[in-house]
Structure 1
Amino acid sequence: MPRFLFAPLLALCLFTVTFAVNLQAPLYEAYAAGSNLGATAVTVAFAAYAAGLMPALLLLGGLSDRIGRRIPVALALVLGCAATALLVVAPGWSSLVAARFLLGAGTALATTAGTAWMTEILGNNRARTAALTVTSATSLGFGGGALATGVSLAVQGSTLVPASYAALLAAAPVLAALVFALPRTGRPQPVSLLRLPVFPSGTWVYGAAMALAWSATGMTIAVVPLQLAAHGLGGWTGLVIFLAIFAGFLCQPIARRLTNRQALAAGFVLVPLGFLVLLGGVWLQALPLVLAGTCITSAASYGFTYLASLAEVSVRAPDDRARATAGLFVYAYCGFSLPVIASGALADLLGLLPALAIFAAAQMAAAVMIAGAWRRRPGPSALAFDAG
């Protein structure tokens, strides 16, 4: 395989792994309908995703250092394929929970191995370009899956086997085989098979910012669609989830021109602002405000915060990138899943809108406290993204 295809093929693999993650999101309501658990059904599915992801991040974040990068990425593609096939063969809430567990494990394997591998392919002197490539591929994947299913449902009508599922089932096995055409970029290290994440010194605020930003994304993906459906706007779910991530991808070239600290500061402002706009749209049943708020939070989460954080930990842990990436995603996925689970329980007690309002207030308070602590203890990094 020509060398110039190595990075694009790896990016396509990472895109496909994350494409599978939110592929089923527009059908959450249909899967949950038979569970008799209300909003809690969706949040339990999110808990299953975290249950698959967190042990893999905590114990297997450095697995690729021991066995190489190929197998974890190929396995992640296989897990995404298996999860989607399960929903085709036995659609329902219990299958959704099992599928989300598999998808969580796959995401952990792919993002940790893939980030380190991309840097090795492009060269250590282009670590931040590698981070940009990974964030772009995964951002498009996380958002593209939901949009693809939304478009499929709009064209096909109501179905539990949309064309987007068929596309994933066709592509993932082929890519899993092609992974082994990518180069071995280093010798496997004689380290323990089970390796804990590492948290590079001075990066705590980047992890906390990721948790804060991705909490907004988790709420947008899991809870907001339920409120949209309650107002007869369920057909817009795929677009809302797509915008919740894709707008951030569009902002990454802007973020790349900033230092990591400047990008992080922008994220602290935009995350709570965007969710307040989104909340206003849900309250007023104004779809333009929902879409605008979604785009603002996306710009913060997947544009400024995600790119700055991944670049920062990659630069600060050049000899342990896979485990440092795992550490960052521990923060991120705690934020992504735990507030959603709590809000789902609150929604069944108080209603969806009050639960969203309580989350918005808690998010704003957390942003102020984290940003305040960060300003009192500024870190040494003021690195801009490289132009290469």
Structure 2
Amino acid sequence: MAVRGPSRSTSFWSIAVLLVLVLAASGVPSPLYRVYQERFGFSDGVLTTVFGIYVFALLAALLVVGGLSDHVGRRPVLAGALVVQAGAMLLFLFADGVGWLLAARIVQGLATGAMTGALGAALLDFQRSDRPLGALVNSASPGLGLSLGAAGAALLVQFVPAPTDWVFGVLTGIFLLSAAGMLLLPESSPRTPGALASLRPQVHVPRPQRPEFLVVLPCLAATWALGGLYASLGPSLVAGVFGVDDHLVGGLLILALNGTGLVGSLSMRGAAPERAMVLGVVVFAVGVAGTVGALFSGSLALFFVAAVVSGFGFGSAFLGAMATVTRGVAPGDRAALLSSVFVVSYLMFSIPAIAAGLAAGEIGLERTAEIYGAVVILLALSAATSLRWRSRRGAEPTRPALEDSRPVAA
């Protein structure tokens, strides 16, 4: 159905808040991993497995139902996934062993994956034609959401006697209320045939967007691989390498990376997409080099500064990537395209981090992080090189500024 007047703006920001909330919930467990590790007595390898299984569940949902809302509408997909998300919070609330944590992360991953494409597509549906903010919000939300979730959980761990009860009890109620609130929003996507066929696991990139999709792949791989390392083993690095056994400091490290990602996205919103990507990955590579230097020197201050620099580059690069790949996408392809982007992103968010957790048991956490950082730097520089090479060959026409991009109207 059509969306008119103030309801479009209200709906847009309602979806934006919900997206940030969902991503915040996904970031909440990061500062709590060490709490659970101390409580249940498991290794770094098990820790990264608990972290990674969430991503695999999320990927499975993206592949199966990522494009479903293009056919049945955004509201039913989002409402159902929010109820499942509330169930995941209950599993965390009553967790008394590793098995419960694995189950909670699987259910949370399925719910988040089911919502990711639909939420991103709804932002493009509801954005005003004279103020297209969909790409900006889609790129800035991960940094903002993960920062709020990680920092909030870290504060509760530090100052509240039963942090897991508070966090997951409150989130259960919020997600149930959000599911009911979906009924108040207008439907933004028409029903189209092919719902059953869309459930066949696939990565669908519309043909017009395929060249841009290939261009942004190295950028997505480099930035999200570092994000996975920080989210899974960042607090452990603070404790094991720098000797700071403080849950709040570990949470602030994740905030340093993801919070400045938001700043990077906002500060580059007026730049052309390719410029934002190239500048972003170069700044990102400099930040990761600082991370490796901090590990060699044992400087916690440098480690935090490097996280801030890397985060800024992450935000800028991801904004450029999202603006590039979503430009001109048809309404009926939006959820499927965004799901494909996040399939790649979350694969790089999880698999390298799991490998790092396993390697840490063999060669040590510090050495593992140094090697990991060096590989990410090479990947980031290759992304910048390929983007500049493509530009010089004239393979991509000049783009307008990000704030002037005009996706196809819903």
Alignment of 1:248 with 2:261, yes or no, is yes
Alignment of 1:355 with 2:386, yes or no, is no
Q: Runs in 1 of length 4+ with deviation above 6 angstroms?
A: none
1:311 equivalent in structure 2: 323
Give the 3-state SS of the residue equivalent to 1:256 in structure 2: coil
**Identity fraction in percent:** 26
Superposition pairs for residues 103-114 of structure 1, below 5 Å? Answer: 103-114=108-119
1:188 equivalent in structure 2: 191
After TM superposition, give the deviation of residue 13 of structure 1 in Å.
Answer: 1.3
- 2:299 alignment partner, one of 265, 286, 293: 286
The change in CA–CA distance for 1:37 and 1:91 in structure 2 (over 3 A counts) is: closer
- 1:94 alignment partner, one of 99, 112, 116: 99
After TM superposition, give the deviation of residue 190 of structure 1 in Å.
Answer: 0.3
- 1:224 alignment partner, one of 234, 253, 270: 234
- 1:15 alignment partner, one of 20, 30, 34: 20
**In structure 1, what is the Cα distance between the partners aligned to 2:153 and 2:17?**
19
Give the 3-state SS of the residue equivalent to 1:185 in structure 2: coil
- Cα deviation per residue 1:52-94 (whole Å; 9 max; x = unaligned)? 1112222222110122101222233223322221111124322
The change in CA–CA distance for 1:208 and 1:102 in structure 2 (over 3 A counts) is: farther
**In structure 2, what is the Cα distance between the partners aligned to 1:348 and 1:247?**
31
After TM superposition, give the deviation of residue 46 of structure 1 in Å.
Answer: 2.5
Q: What is the TM-score when the length of structure 2 is the normalising length?
A: 0.87
After TM superposition, give the deviation of residue 125 of structure 1 in Å.
Answer: 6.4
The one-letter amino acid of 1:155's match is F
Contact 1:11 1:133 in 2 (8 A): yes
Contact 1:152 1:162 in 2 (8 A): no
List alignment gaps of at least 5 residues for structure 2.
406-410
**In structure 1, what is the Cα distance between the partners aligned to 2:294 and 2:96?**
32
After TM superposition, give the deviation of residue 160 of structure 1 in Å.
Answer: 5.0
Give the 3-state SS of the residue equivalent to 1:377 in structure 2: helix
After TM superposition, give the deviation of residue 126 of structure 1 in Å.
Answer: 4.9
**In structure 2, what is the Cα distance between the partners aligned to 1:2 and 1:317?**
24
The one-letter amino acid of 2:225's match is S
**In structure 2, what is the Cα distance between the partners aligned to 1:260 and 1:184?**
30
**In structure 2, what is the Cα distance between the partners aligned to 1:285 and 1:94?**
35
The change in CA–CA distance for 1:92 and 1:237 in structure 2 (over 3 A counts) is: farther
After TM superposition, give the deviation of residue 33 of structure 1 in Å.
Answer: 3.8
Q: CA RMSD in A?
A: 2.2
After TM superposition, give the deviation of residue 377 of structure 1 in Å.
Answer: 2.7
The one-letter amino acid of 2:84's match is L
Alignment of 1:375 with 2:388, yes or no, is yes
Contact 2:88 2:105 in 1 (8 A): yes
Alignment of 1:121 with 2:126, yes or no, is yes
- 1:215 alignment partner, one of 219, 222, 225: 225
List alignment gaps of at least 5 residues for structure 1.
none
- Cα deviation per residue 1:145-204 (whole Å; 9 max; x = unaligned)? 1111111122214x3525333332221111111112111123211012415332322221
Alignment of 1:197 with 2:197, yes or no, is no
After TM superposition, give the deviation of residue 232 of structure 1 in Å.
Answer: 2.6
**In structure 2, what is the Cα distance between the partners aligned to 1:341 and 1:223?**
10
Give the 3-state SS of the residue equivalent to 2:403 in structure 1: coil
2:89 equivalent in structure 1: 84
**In structure 2, what is the Cα distance between the partners aligned to 1:197 and 1:377?**
24
After TM superposition, give the deviation of residue 223 of structure 1 in Å.
Answer: 1.5
2:59 equivalent in structure 1: 54
